[in-house]
Every structure is written in structure tokens, then in C-alpha cells.
Amino acid sequence: MNNKVLLAAIAKDEAAYLPDWIFHHKYFGFDEIAIYVNNTSDPTSELKSALKTLPGVTFHKGDWYFSRFYNAPQIAIYRKVIAMARKKGFTHILFLDIDEFWTPLDFTTSIKDYIESYKADVVSFEWLMKNDEVSPFSAPFGGKNQCERARHVKSLFRTDLTITDINPHNVTAVNADYRLADGSPWPSLFDSNFRVPKIREMHSIPHYFILHRFCRSQIEYISLLGRGRPTKTGSIFKDNRNGYPAKSGPLEFTISDNSLSAYLNERSQFYNQYKLEKIISNAKAFILNRYQTVLATVESAPFREAPVLAKVLRDVTDSGILNAYKKFCQTYGIPLGTQSEKAELSSEDFLVLRKAAFVLAEGNPQLALSLLMILKKTKPEGKVINSKIKELKRRLNIR
């Protein structure tokens, strides 16, 4: 069978990262890449113009979906893509974010070679979280790559399935054969098919995975906090982050010199052919300017952002953001300093915050968890607090 594979993504202010992401997936054999752009103010339009002659890459306007389908614009776009893919004769679809890279461990096998080897209706690739990017705007891959396993997946699925539901990680389809990337069966229900059993975190690196550049460098991570989220959560920051990785590893995969050299040579040719360097330079400047904006926003943020900032800045060591956060705390008399410091709460304040956290736990578990994490710094061995934190993390699907 002649398989035809579509990759689709939604992008907002991703011009600094799209060239690498596009090149990577074209390099590994995806036939077409569809990018839905929403609410973007960086040089993405310039990038679109530069790549207009690149075969198999299309940019689409996504703003309408985010205004029309307010609660689930992402899913609305995915349904549109599935309908389009069926009309155009694609056999398979994979949805990724721009910080996610479908990757064969041998750094050679193409997506089509993989499909021929592991026949299934739905194949779920596990996340491998890259956590060694110290310098801003590092290349996605090097000879040695440090990472950790995670339970979430992204799924490649056949377009001829009868799909009854979809989420960003997987689909529910009638009588479908679900497999993990190694070919092992994976019977799962829709409400749990976005992540694998916890025991798999103990396994070695899979032969095929999704490399997730979920934080990049600290400056890029901080800048990303200023992008917000497509649906309102009550915060002015991108609040679905739980802090910066405290250390790299514990896993590492290597790419042979020959494979990496071939990849980087073609990447360089891609950059040169489409004259991307100036566009990327401008896009990087956008990221750095947003970083400065985040510093100012943190410093002047309203008090209600205290739990969010305590969460998203955990283990961040960048001096710029820590100074801004310190000024935020001083403004409201919050005795916190940084996430790596021990909080000096009075006994009265401690009890007030603990009571508030337990009251909020049912209706607003995310805010309750943030308050409990603040309390944990004062009383790290507290059994009641730690038990409640464990319970809330389980409810919120947080590792």
C-alpha cells in the first residue's frame, strides 16, 4: 500500500522554531505538513512567504477557530484537518505541537518505513522530555541528548477509521487496533488514552518516540510564560507549566556522527535555499523582547497571580525573573522569595493558607495545589499537606 502521511500543528508566535520543526519532519518522510497559525504577531508571515515554494508545506489561518470554538478551538481544527486529509487521499495523520519532534532512535528510519514495519490502526508514541538546553535557541538535536521519560503520548492514526472522539493526544475509533510504538497492544479507554501506565517510566528509551522540547532554555521558558493560553484560565500567564527542570537526564540517547552530520548538512542547505537566517534572527529577537515583557509583567502582576507564579517559576534560576518575582512579592508582602528558598510564614498565616487550600480543593484544585506547594516549603515533611498534594496531582494528572 502506498501510504501518504500528513502532519498537522497549530502555531502561535513560533517563527523562531518552525524552520527546524518543518525541516525535521520533511527529512523523516512526512508527505505534507499543515500549519494552522493563530493570533500571531511574530515573523511567521515572513516565514510563510519564504517557504511558499517548498513542496508539501501549507500555512492556514487559524484565528477563526479560536474565536468561533472558544472552549475547544484545537479540536475544531483537528476535525477540519481530518476531513481535509480524507479528501486529499492521506492514509495517516499525526498531530504535534511545534515543540514536539517525531524521532526514530536510529535517526535514520522514516515515518513510512515505520508504518510498513508496525501495522496498526492507531500507534501512540511516548514523550521523551528533552531537558539539557542551557543556551537559548539551541539546535533540537546533538550528538548526546539528555532527557527523561514521560507518560503522555501523541498518536498516528489511519484516516479510514470511524472516529468518535478526539483529544490532542489520541483518538477514539470503532474497533480500532491500538498499539504503542514498539508494536505492543494498548487497550485503553478514551479518558485515559493520552498517557501510558506509570510503570513505563522505568523502561529504557523506546526505538520511536516524540522528543518534547517542553522548556528549552530558561530565557525561552520565561518568554513562553508571556504567550498565555488559547482558552481563558484566569491567569495572564501560560499557567500549564509546573516549573523548570531542576537537572538534566537521567536518560541519554546518542546520534552517530554520520547520521547527525547528514542531518545537519541538509538542515544547512534548507536554511540557505530558502534564505531563512534573517527571518529566524528577527523571530529570536521577538522571543527575547517577550522575555523582557514577562519580567515587567511579573513585577506588576496582580496579587491573584501569586499561586501561578509560585508554580511556574519553581526551580527557575534566571536572575532577571527572580528579581522581578522578588519585587512582586515585596509589593504584596508575600514572604516567599523564590521557589528554591524556604518560606518563613507565621503560624497564623500558615493555618489561614492551609484552610484556604482545603476549601478550594474541590472547586479549584489547581489553585489549591499551588497554595499547598507554597506551604510545603515551610513544612516539607508535613503528612497532611503531602497527602493532599499527592491527591490533587493525581486528580489533575500531574506527574
Percentage, residues of the chain above pLDDT 90? 67
pLDDT for the residue numbered 329 = 86
Based on the fold, state whether residues 199 and 112 are members of the same structural domain. Answer: yes
Per-residue pLDDT, averaged over 373-394, amounts to 86
- Residue-wise pLDDT for 83-94, tens only, equals 999 999 999 999
In this prediction the pTM is 0.84
In this structure, how many other beta carbons lie within 10 angstroms of the beta carbon of residue 26?
A: 19
Q: What is the pLDDT of residue 12?
A: 96
Residues 42, 127 share a domain = yes
Residue 293 domain-assigned (yes or no): no
pLDDT digits (tens, 9 = 90+) for 208-220: 999 999 999 999 9
Q: How big is the chain, counted in residues?
A: 399
In terms of domains, do 134 and 207 share one? Answer: yes
- Domain final residue, candidates 227, 249, 280: 280
Residues 313 and 326 sit within 8 Å (Cβ to Cβ): no
| Rounded average pLDDT over 368-374 | 80
For residue 220 the three cell numbers come to 525561552
Residue span of the structural domain in which 38 resides? 5-280
Using CA atoms, how far residue 64 sits from 69, 70, 71, 233, in Å, is: 8, 10, 13, 20
Q: All 3 cell numbers of residue 117?
A: 514495519
Beta strands 92-95; 5-11: pairing state: parallel
Please answer whether residues 227 and 290 qualify as being in contact, where contact means their C-beta atoms are separated by less than 8 angstroms.
yes
The per-residue pLDDT for 192 is 66
Banded pLDDT at 144 (limits 50, 70, 90)? very high
In the chain, where do the E strands start and end? 5-11, 32-37, 57-61, 92-95, 100-104, 122-130, 144-158, 163-166, 171-173, 178-180, 208-212, 251-254
Residue 190: the pLDDT is 45
Point out the least confidently predicted range of 90-99, 190-199, 242-251: 190-199
pLDDT at 376 over 60: yes
The CATH number of residue 155's host domain is 3.90.550
User: Which pLDDT score is estimated for 11?
Assistant: 97
C-alpha cell at 338: 523564590
Across the chain, mean pLDDT equals 90
| Number of domains the chain is built from | 2
272 lies in the same domain as 320: no
What pLDDT is recorded for position 231? Answer: 57
Q: What is the mean pLDDT of residues 197-206?
A: 87
Q: Supply the Cα-derived Rg of the chain in whole angstroms.
A: 22
Average pLDDT of the residues in 362-373: 77
Per residue in 3-48, pLDDT tens?
999 999 999 999 999 999 999 999 999 999 999 999 999 999 999 9
The rounded distance, in Å, linking the Cα atoms of 6 and 180 is 19
Cell of 109: 528510519
Q: What per-residue confidence (pLDDT) applies to 191?
A: 47
Same domain, 276 and 308: no
Which pLDDT band, with edges at 50, 70 and 90, does 311 fall under?
Answer: confident
Of the chain, the percentage scoring pLDDT greater than 70 comes to 93
Domain match, 332 and 251 both: no
Cα 376 to Cα 353: distance, rounded to the nearest angstrom = 11
Residue listed under C-alpha cell 472558544? 70
Regarding predicted confidence, which is higher, 81 or 360?
A: 81
> Average pLDDT in the 57-74 region?
90
State residue 349's pLDDT score.
Answer: 64
Q: For residues 251 and 371, state if they share a domain.
A: no
Residue 322 pLDDT level (bands cut at 50, 70, 90): very high
Provide mean pLDDT across the span 63-86: 92
Q: Is the same domain home to 248 and 308?
A: no
Whether residues 120 and 265 fall in one domain: yes
Claim to verify: residue 234 and residue 309 sit in the same structural domain: no
Neighbouring C-beta atoms of residue 177, cutoff 10 Å: 14
Q: How many CB atoms lie within 10 A of CB 358?
A: 15
Both 365 and 272 in one domain: the answer is no
Q: Is residue 370 part of a domain?
A: yes
Residue 340 has pLDDT above 60, yes or no: no
pLDDT at 115 over 60: yes
